Structure 1
Amino acid sequence: MTLPAQDTRVTYPSGELVQRAVVLHVEPLADGRVAVLTDVTSFHPVDAAWPDQPADVGTIAVDGTESAVLDAVVAATDGTDLFVGSDIPVRKGTEGWAFLVAHLVDAGAAIAEGDEVVITADPAARHALSLGHTACHAASLALNAALESRWSKPARTDALGRPDFDGIAIASSRIEPFGSVDRYRLNKSLRRAGFDVASLVDEDLDVLAQTVTATVVWWISSGSPVRVDRAGDALTDRRTWVAELPDGTAEIPCGGTHVGSLGALGEARIAFELVDDEGTPVLEMRTRVTG
C-alpha cells in the first residue's frame, strides 16, 4: 500500500469534532494495534516531541460500524517507511517528509484503504482538555507578570512583553481535564540569566498563588475572547493561540485545542509546590478551573 505523500489536513483547531474522511493507508504495528491514516481528521493527536495535550478519544466508523480509537499520535513517512510517535527520526516539518495523524485501533477493526469513514471526537473529553489548555496559557502569562520584578538582566519577553519565566524555565507541561501541571527548573542557568532564584525558593508560595490566581480571575471576569489562528489546514502549518486580554493581545504558538473565551473557564485556582529533582529545585504550578 502507498504511504501518503502530504500532511494530514486537520479540522480540530477550528473546534470540529466530526469529520468525513477517506482512509489512505492502514498499517499493523508491532504492539498489535493498527494505524489508520486518513486524508483529513477532526482528531487531535499527541505529539511525542512535546506531549503536553493528550489525544482526543472517540471513534472511527465505516458504514455505521464504529471502532474505538485507542490513541491518536503524530506519525511521519519518507515515502518508504512509516514512523509513529517517538520513533520519528526527524523534526516536524522536515522537507521531503509527510506528517500524519495516526488513529490507532484494535487489530480486529474492519477498516481498509479506500474506505470512507466518519471520525468523531468525544465532545466532553475535548471540552475538558480545551479548558485545561486555555487555562494553562492564562496561568503562565499571569505567573510571568507576578515574577516580573525578580529579573536583574534583560530577558526574552512573553506575549505581553514581560520577562518570559515560563518559556525560559519550563521543564514540562501536562494538560489535564480542567487544568494543567507545569514544572520549572530553578537551576544555575536561570540564575545566570538574571532571575532571582533564591528569593523564589524562600517565597511564601501561597502568596504567589494568590497573586497569580487573582490575575487569572480578573481575565476570566473580563470574558476575554480566545481563538486559534492558522497558517493553513495541514498538521504542520503554524497555529497560534490568540487571547484579547485586558493587558493587551497575547499570541502564543500552540498546536492544541482551546475554548472560545476565558469566560468559559469558570472558577480558577492556581497552586504551587517546590519539589526536588536530583538536587535541583523545581517549581510546580497546578492550575484548575471548573468550566
Structure 2
Amino acid sequence: MTLPSRDTIVTYPGGALEAESIVLHIAPAGDGLVAVVTETTSFHPVDAAWPDQPADTGSLSTGGPEIPIVDAVVAATDGTELFLGSDIPVRKGSEGWSFLVAHLVADGAAIAEGDTATVRADASARRALSVGHTACHAAALALNAALAGNWSKAAREDALGAPDFDGIAIASSRIVPGGSVDVYRLNKSLRRAGFDTAAVAADELGELAASVTATIAEWAAAGAPVRIDREGDGLTDRRYWVAELPVGTASIACGGTHVESLAELGDVRVEFEAGDDAGTPVLTMRTHAEPPR
C-alpha cells in the first residue's frame, strides 16, 4: 500500500481503549522493530516534540495471537518516506504532510498491509496516566494562582486569568502513573518579565506546597467535571482539556488522555524542590494522586 495521505484517526481522546482498523503501512523502525500504521487507533503515542505523556501499553492482533506493542510514536510522511519521532523534519500540521500513529512491534510479527487489526490499550495503565495528566493540569492552575502575587508586571494569563507562571517558566513536564514531574526555570528572562524569583525560596516551599495542595483538594471535593473538546478526529486536530472548576471554566490545549472528574484523583499532594541546572535555579513540582479504590 502507499503511504497514508491523511492523519491517523484517533479515538483515545474520547476514552476508547480498542479500535479495529485496516493496516495501511508497515516500515522498518530499527532495533528489530517495525512501525505499523493503521487508519484508526485507540493507542496514545508519545510525541517527540513534547514528550510529556508516555505511550499507552498494549497489543494488536489480526485474529491470531496478540502482538505486543513495544512503543507507539508520532510519525509523519510527505508521501515518499515515513519519519518516526525525533526524525520528523517538519512541524506538526505542516502543509503536504500527514501525521500518524506508528505502533512499534517486533519485526517478523504476523501482520501485513491490508490486514484488519484490532488495537488494544491496557486499561489500568491508561487510567494511571490519565489520572496523572489531569492532576498535572490542576496543579499547574493551582500553582499559578498561588504565585499570582509575585508578579510586578502584567504577564500573559492562564485559562483562569492568573499570570501563567507554568506556561512561561516550564522547562519540562513528564506525566507518570498517578502524577507528574514539572520543572521550571527561574532564569533572568523570568525576572525581566516581572516575576520575583527570590520569593520562591527553599524555606517557603512547604507553604507553597500546602497552598497548591489545598486548592486542588477543594476542586476535587467539588467534583469538578472534565471533558475533552475536539476540533476533529485526526491526530493533529486541536484538542482541549476543559474543567468546570468552582472558580470558572478552564480550557487548555492538550493532546493527552484524562479522567472525567477531579473527584477521580482522590487524595492529591504536591511537593516542591529547589535545584540548579548549570547555574540556573530551577523549581521542581511533583504531583501525586491517590484515586479512591
Tell me the TM-score range normalised by the shorter chain.
over 0.9
Equivalent-residue separation in structure 2 for 1:82 and 1:20 (angstroms):
22
- Unaligned runs of 5+ residues in structure 2 are none
Which moves more between the two structures, 162-171 or 62-71?
62-71
1:92-136 C-alpha deviation (Å, 9 max, x unpaired):
000000000000000121110000011000000000000000000
Deviation at 1:32, TM superposition (A): 1.7
TM-score of the superposition, structure 1-length normalised? 0.99
Partner of 2:22: 22
Equivalent-residue separation in structure 2 for 1:130 and 1:109 (angstroms):
30
Aligned sequence identity (%): 68
Equivalent-residue separation in structure 2 for 1:144 and 1:203 (angstroms):
19
Deviation at 1:63, TM superposition (A): 1.0
Count of residue pairs the alignment pairs up: 291
Deviation at 1:30, TM superposition (A): 2.5
Deviation at 1:203, TM superposition (A): 4.6
CA-atom RMSD in angstroms: 0.7
Which moves more between the two structures, 64-73 or 224-233?
64-73
AA aligned opposite 2:265 = L
- Unaligned runs of 5+ residues in structure 1 are none
1:204-256 C-alpha deviation (Å, 9 max, x unpaired):
11111000000000000000000000000000000000000001000000000
Equivalent-residue separation in structure 2 for 1:118 and 1:269 (angstroms):
38
Equivalent-residue separation in structure 1 for 2:163 and 2:214 (angstroms):
19
Equivalent-residue separation in structure 2 for 1:259 and 1:250 (angstroms):
15
Residue aligned with 2:288, SS: strand
AA aligned opposite 1:238 = R
AA aligned opposite 1:60 = L
Matched, 1:132 2:147: no
Matched, 1:10 2:16: no
Residue aligned with 2:284, SS: strand
Partner of 1:198: 198
Write out aligned runs for 1:246-261 (5 A).
Answer: 246-261=246-261
Equivalent-residue separation in structure 1 for 2:165 and 2:59 (angstroms):
39
Matched, 1:170 2:170: yes
1:158-214 C-alpha deviation (Å, 9 max, x unpaired):
000000000000000000000000000000000000000111135511111000000
1:238-284 C-alpha deviation (Å, 9 max, x unpaired):
00000000010000000000000000000000000001101111000
Runs of 4+ in 1 over 6 A off after TM superposition: none
Partner of 1:114: 114
TM-score of the superposition, structure 2-length normalised? 0.98
Partner of 1:77: 77
Residue aligned with 2:145, SS: helix
Equivalent-residue separation in structure 2 for 1:29 and 1:255 (angstroms):
24
Deviation at 1:29, TM superposition (A): 1.9
Residue aligned with 1:105, SS: strand
